[in-house]
Amino acid sequence: MGDENDPMTERIEGPTPRGGVAAEVDYLNAERELVRKSLATRAEIVELDATGEHICRTYVEFENAQEPDNDKD
């Protein structure tokens, strides 16, 4: 079950920059694996038209994202 306050994916209803009616956002880590928004270092945003067709895909890297420290003892 997902945490609605820290989703792995989101659907945002409303006009999009490229003329869509909604957008779907997938939150990803450095390996491009789906993760919770709070752990994400990047996102893939897909704008959708009124029929649900993809009209634009945008990739975003978060400027202040912190990579996990895997070298902890």
Q: How many CA atoms lie within 13 A of 17 on its CB side?
A: 5
How much is the average pLDDT of 14-21? 96
Residue 44 lies in a domain: yes
Residue 67 included in any domain: no
Q: Which domain holds residue 32?
A: 10-61
Asked whether residue 70 is assigned to any structural domain, the reply reads no
Is residue 71 domain-resident? Answer: no
Residue 15 lies in a domain: yes
- Mean pLDDT, rounded, of the chain: 89
Q: How far apart are CA 59 and CA 38, in angstroms?
A: 17
In a domain, 35, yes or no: yes
Domain count within the chain: 1
pLDDT per position as a tens digit, 25-47 = 999 999 999 999 999 999 999 99
68 inside domain: no
